[in-house]
Every structure is written in structure tokens, then in C-alpha cells.
Structure 1
Amino acid sequence: MLEAIQLNKSFADKQVITDLSFKVAQGEIMCLLGANGAGKSTTLNIFLNFLQPDSGQALIDGIDVHQSASCKDKLVYLPEQVNLYQEFNAIDNLKYLASLSGLTVSDAQIHAALDETGLEPNARKQSLKNYSKGMRQKVGIAFAIMRQAKVLLLDEPTSGLDPSATLEFIGIIERLAKKGAAILMVTHDFYCAHTLANKIGIMDKGQLLTLLDNNKLPLSSLETTYHELISGKAVMRAAS
């Protein structure tokens, strides 16, 4: 559903993405771990068609995102800070987003989507200026549910969330994956990546150093492998 094929991107004389390739299937969650400047957000921006790669392809459901706008209908992006209309309530925000996307939705459909995210009914008619980050995320995810998004791109979604809100977020994303969404998340959060992902990519300086199968991978092993790779102590092992 989501595929990077030998992506390369540079800014001036700085290479920020080098020969990046990976796939995310329907119902699969992939996390990219890496420090600031590793190329994670640049990767998302290429899939969003905010940036053109120097070479390679970014595909959504087999369609090159830079050749056709049709694949945008399958995609929802949740940034680190969900920028919705602060003076609107959750229902009005979702109605407006739906109208921008050409969707016709009823109040019942909006409430059903918000029910899936766990946003409390008494909060839905409050303006978003009174919302926490976790509550704003729920509105963004409700839109993904309404749109029946086949691909979800998440940028540092647990940054600033308390442990309870992080666990709630994890549960919501797991349910979306079970419905068949392909999910790509970039994060610094080892715990969230380990809990959610089917596979975890570790990036540094624009390169995908390794792609780990997260099945039965201990969290301690993930952290050790990450630090060894970033320090250069495990490059040869990761490449083998």
C-alpha cells in the first residue's frame, strides 16, 4: 500500500535521503526511529508531495504520488501538532474538513467516528482551544476514520502526551491497522514504536541502517541495537 523505491533527496550540497526503500502493507504499522536530521520527516514530506525527490519513487497503492493526485484520497496525515480551528468545536471541525474533502457526512457518522477515538461526548461541543494535544489528535484520527483512509502518516504523534494518553493513542492506531490501514509513523519514542509496530526502521543521516522485525523483539534489544547502530558499532552487523 505504501512503498519507497530508492528515494534520494538533497538540499543544496547536503544529502538528506539516500537510496531509501521500504514497503508497508495493508494492516501493517511501520515506525521510523532516528534523531533529528535523520531524514524521517523528509520521508513523510515526500509521500505527502510537499517535496519532490531527486530520484526514486514514493508509491501509494501502486501510484506515484508525484505523478497523480488521485492517491491523496487514500491518505490522511497527522502532524506533531494537529492544526485545527481552535474556535470551532470537534463536530464543526470535522464537518468542515469533510466538506473540503468532498465528503458528505451525517452527525451520526461524525459521532460514530468520535466514539471510536474515545473522545468524551461532553467535550465534542467545546471549542478546541480548551483541548489537550491528545484530544486534538482524536479529532484528527476521527477524520481518518470518516474518510476510511487506507494510508495514515504520523509525525511524532506521542510527543508531549502523558503515559495514559499514549496508551490510549496506541489502542486507537492498533484498531485502525486491524481495519486494514497501512500506517507509517516517525518517532523518537522507543516504547510506542515497540508496542505498535510490526517492523521498525532505524535511520541516521538519511540512510535506513536496518529494518527490524518487531515480532518478539525485546524493548531492551531495540534500544541496544539503535544505540549501537547510531554510534557505528553495529553497522556491519545490520548490513549482514
Structure 2
Amino acid sequence: MSISSSNPVISAESLSVVLNNKKILTDLNFNVKSGEVFALLGGNGAGKSTTLKTFLGMITPTSGSAKILNLPVDQHATELRQKIAYLPESVMLYAHLTARENIKYFLSLAGINKRDDEINHALEKVSLQPKAWDERLSQYSKGMRQKTAIALSILRQAPIFFLDEPTSGLDPIAIDEFNQLVSQLASSGATIMMVTHDVYGACQVANHISLLRDGQLVGNFSSPEQGHINTEEVHAAFAARSLA
């Protein structure tokens, strides 16, 4: 299951979802290639969570498909989960364990054995301060817990990341640090899809943004070769003052 640089790693093809006789997603189409950051931007009730759950294999499409590595997720969920790192809005790690203890425990569940120096290198890579490595996560901020979870994903060598409202509840410095980390992951070849309502954060880090409203894509934006996606343009579309 190798990842091609030319073929999309994540793709929605006429993806529609109906739940309890209510249409939640209607004919979504997008592609994300290796090394790209894709942001699905929308407000509450837009359908972001449903889209994410569909790609995680938790919801079956009513029509169309959600594909990862060109495989329909609903048919290959178990196989694909080995390639995926999922970062929920509230990271699920054990508060009574340290960062290194959490990482060793979850790696053991996956049958992965890493040396202490490899774990330390991953923690350094996500810029978690060494003095915090042996502190219990009950003492951690949300940003520090996120860094621990990403270090775990790096050690699992997960090439695909799904991020759910990753900057929600973070202070401005932590948001900048997180965006830098996401950019570094993409530069190393990871493919990243994030769902968010944070216009500024999405514009700072994403190569492509799709605006989701009432389960439909109503705007698409791409970054220039140099620089970021225009925040004012996306904000205007997000606030429904215009549709770019």
C-alpha cells in the first residue's frame, strides 16, 4: 500500500450521506495529495464531523465514496487504520501517565517497540520541552497533549493525519506552534486533512481549503506558490458576504 506522489491520498467522489432521513452531505468532491494540507472549513452543523467520521470508517456513505489510497474506506477500514493518525479535538491519553509512558503503552498495543532515544527524538521533533517528558499529562496544557499524540503518530510512522478542530481552545502562541508542526509534517511527506472553523489557522497552514455549508461545498481556495491563502477572501466567503 505505497503512497504515490501523483495520485490523491484522500479523495471524496460525489460523496453523499443521509442519516435518519436527513441529507447531511451532498455530492462532495475533493482530492488531497501526498505532502498536502487540506482544510475543510465550516461552522457548526455544516457537516464537518460527518465528513471526518465517514473517512474514519464510522459512517457509511449513502452514495459516492470516501477513499484513502484509492480504497473505499467503508470496505477497507481495518486495513487503512494502520496508515491513519487521528487527532480528536480532545486528545485521549492517560492523564496519570507521563508523555513517555503514554507513548510506550500505546506503541505496545500496536506491537511496536521503540528505543528510548527514538521516543526522545520524536518528542524533540514536536518541540515538547524535555522537562515535561516525565511529567504526568494531568499537568499538561491541550497543546502539550496534542504534541504528545503527534509524537506517537510519528513513531507509528503514520503517513496520513486527520485533525478535528485542532486549534480549538489553544492560545495564540500554541496555535502558531501547532501550525508550524503541521507544516513540518507535510514537508516530510505526510498528508493532512483537518476540519475546522478557524479561518485564520486554515489559511496559515493549508494548501487547499474547501468551504462547507449545509453539507455542500460552496467555495474552494488554494495557496499561491509562495505565501498563504488570502484570509480576508476566505473570511468573506465563510461569513456568506461573498462566495469566491
TM-score bracket for this pair, using the shorter chain length: over 0.9
Aligned residue number for residue 218 of structure 1: 230
Corresponding residue pairs, total: 232
Please give the root-mean-square deviation of Cα atoms over the aligned residues, in Å.
1.3
Instruction: Name which of 36, 45, 59 aligns with 1:28.
Output: 36
Specify the alignment match of 2:188 in structure 1: 179
Where in structure 2 are there 5+ consecutive unaligned residues?
1-8
Identity of aligned residues (%): 43
Conserved? CA contact 2:167–2:198, under 8 Å: yes
Residue 62, structure 1, aligned to residue 70, structure 2: yes
- C-alpha distance after superposition, 1:181-219 (max 9, x if no partner): 110011111111010000111001111112211325421
TM-superposed deviation, 1:156: 0.5
Following the alignment from structure 1 to structure 2, what is the Cα–Cα distance between the partners of residues 218 and 32? Answer: 16
The aligned counterpart of 1:119 is 128
Distance 1:188 1:129 in 2: 27
Matched residue SS, 2:162: strand
State the distance in 1 between where 2:49 and 2:85 align: 15
For 2:229 and 2:177, the matched residues in 1 are separated by 22
Within the alignment, does 1:11 sit opposite 2:11 as a pair? no
The offset of 1:102, in angstroms, is 2.2
Distance 1:152 1:103 in 2: 19
**Structure-2 separation of matches of 1:80 and 1:92:** 22
After superposition, what is the alpha-carbon deviation per residue over 1:149-198, rounded to whole angstroms, capped at 9, x for unaligned? 11100000100100100110011110000011110011111111010000
Q: Distance in 1 between matches of 2:222 and 2:70?
A: 23
CA contact (8 A) 2:204 2:229 kept: no
Counterpart mapping for 1:85-234 below 5 A: 85-215=94-224, 217-228=229-240, 234=243
1:51-100 deviation digits (Å, cap 9, x = unpaired)? 11112211111122211221111100000000101111101111111112
Distance in 2 between residues matched to 1:11 and 1:86, nearest whole Å:
35
Q: Could you list the structure 1 runs, at least 4 aligned residues long, displaced by more than 2 angstroms after superposition.
A: 214-218
Q: Deviations over 1:119-165 (max 9, x none)?
A: 11111111111100000000111011111211100000100100100
Question: 2:46 aligns to what SS in structure 1?
Answer: coil
Higher helix fraction (1 or 2): 1
Alpha-carbon separation, structure 2, partners of 1:179 and 1:77: 18
Paired with 1:23 and 1:104, the residues of 2 have a C-alpha distance of 34
d(CA) in 1 for partners of 2:74, 2:17 = 14
1:29: how far off? 0.4
Q: Partner of 2:75: helix, strand, or coil?
A: coil
Any stretches of 5+ residues in structure 1 without a counterpart?
none
Deviation at 1:225, TM superposition (A): 2.3
Distance in 1, matches of 2:229 and 2:67, equals 29
CA distance in 2, matches of 1:19, 1:126: 47
